[in-house]
Structure 1
Amino acid sequence: MKMPTFRAMRSAKVMAVVAVAAGAIVASAIPGSADVSTQSPSLGGVRVESPAVLQAGGAAILVPVTAVCAPGTYAYIHVRVTQRVGNALATGVGDSRIPDCTGGFQTFKVPVHASGKPFRKGAAFASANLNGPFPGPVEDHREIQIAN
C-alpha cells in the first residue's frame, strides 16, 4: 500500500479550502429573497403553567396552559394531572380547543375534573399535549402547584 506524500495531503487540504470558498461565493451570489417561514413546516408548542386553581372544593382545577400554533389553524390541548393525597392519588384529565391560532403565545385555563380523590392545595404533576395540523403531538411534563 502506497502512503500519501506530504505534498498530496497538502494539495487535498488546499482543494477543500478552495471548494468551501467557492461554495460561499456562489451562495452569496444567489438572491436571498426566499421566506423561510413559508418553506418550513409549521410547529406547535405547549407549556403547562403554575399555579392551577382549585374549583368546587377540589372537584376540579383550572390549569393554565400556554400554547403556540401557526396562524389561521386550530389545535387541541389535552391535560392530565396527578397529585398524591395521603395514601391515594387524585387524578384528572381535561381538554380544550384552540379555534383560531394566532402564531403567538396564547394562554388558556383548561378545566381538569378530579377522579378518585379531590385535588388539594400543594404540588402535583401535569402533562399537556398539543395536537393540530402540524407534525406529531407536542408535549410538556412538569411539576406544578395547586393554589386556592
Structure 2
Amino acid sequence: MMKFSGGKTLAVAAVAGGALLASIAPVMASVSAESPSLALIRVEPDAKIKTWGAAIEVQVTYACPKTYLPSTGYVYVNVSQNVFGRIASGNASKTVNCTGGFETTTVTVAAQNLAFWPGKAFVKADVSAYPHAATDEREIKLSY
C-alpha cells in the first residue's frame, strides 16, 4: 500500500501550478499592455505657444478601455502660469476615442485672462471614460 503525505502532494501541485503560470505570464502581460483595464493619462513635457500667447497646444498621451459602443472618453486640460506676478490660465476639453491602447492627442487651450509666455507652466489633465478616470499634474515648458 502506497502512502501519500499531504506535504509532498501540496509541493508537487505548487510546482506544477508555478510552471503553468510562468508559461502564460508573457501572454498575460502583452494583453494587459495592449488593452489597459484602467484609464491612464500623461501630459507631454513641452507645449507650443500659438498666436502670441493667445493659446497653447498641449499634447497628452492617454489610454482608456474600449467598452460599449460608442467607445469615447473626454480629456480635460487646465493650465496656469505666473506671468510677471499675474496668472495666465485657460482650460479646454476634447472628446477622444477609447481604443484600449495608448493614443496621443493635441488639446488647444485658449488663454482666458492674460497671454501665455515662454517658460514654465502648471498643467492638470484628466481623462474620463465611464467608469474609469485618471489625472496627471505636472510642470511643463511653453515655447514658440
TM range (shorter): 0.7 to 0.9
Q: d(CA) in 1 for partners of 2:17 and 2:60?
A: 46
Q: d(CA) in 1 for partners of 2:61 and 2:17?
A: 43
Q: Are positions 1:50 and 2:41 aligned together?
A: no
Offset of residue 133 of structure 1: 2.7
SS at match of 1:57: helix
Gaps of 5+ in 2: 1-5
How many residues of Structure 1 are paired with residues of Structure 2 in the alignment? 128
TM-score, normalised to structure 2, is 0.73
Instruction: Note the 1:65-144 alignment, pairs <5 A.
Output: 65-71=60-66, 73-98=71-96, 100-135=97-132, 137-144=133-140
CA RMSD of aligned residues (A): 3.0
Offset of residue 27 of structure 1: 6.8
Report what 2:57 is aligned to: 62
Offset of residue 120 of structure 1: 0.8
Offset of residue 101 of structure 1: 2.3
* Amino acid of the structure 2 residue aligned with 1:86: F
Provide closer, same or farther for how the CA distance between residues 88 and 21 of structure 1 changes in structure 2, counting only shifts above 3 A: farther
Report what 2:3 is aligned to: none
| Greater C-alpha Rg | 1
Offset of residue 25 of structure 1: 3.6
Q: d(CA) in 2 for partners of 1:29 and 1:51?
A: 45
Provide closer, same or farther for how the CA distance between residues 28 and 124 of structure 1 changes in structure 2, counting only shifts above 3 A: same
Provide closer, same or farther for how the CA distance between residues 20 and 118 of structure 1 changes in structure 2, counting only shifts above 3 A: farther
Offset of residue 42 of structure 1: 2.1
- Higher-strand-fraction structure: 2
Seq. identity, %? 33
Provide closer, same or farther for how the CA distance between residues 102 and 29 of structure 1 changes in structure 2, counting only shifts above 3 A: closer
TM-score, normalised to structure 1, is 0.71
Gaps of 5+ in 1: 1-13
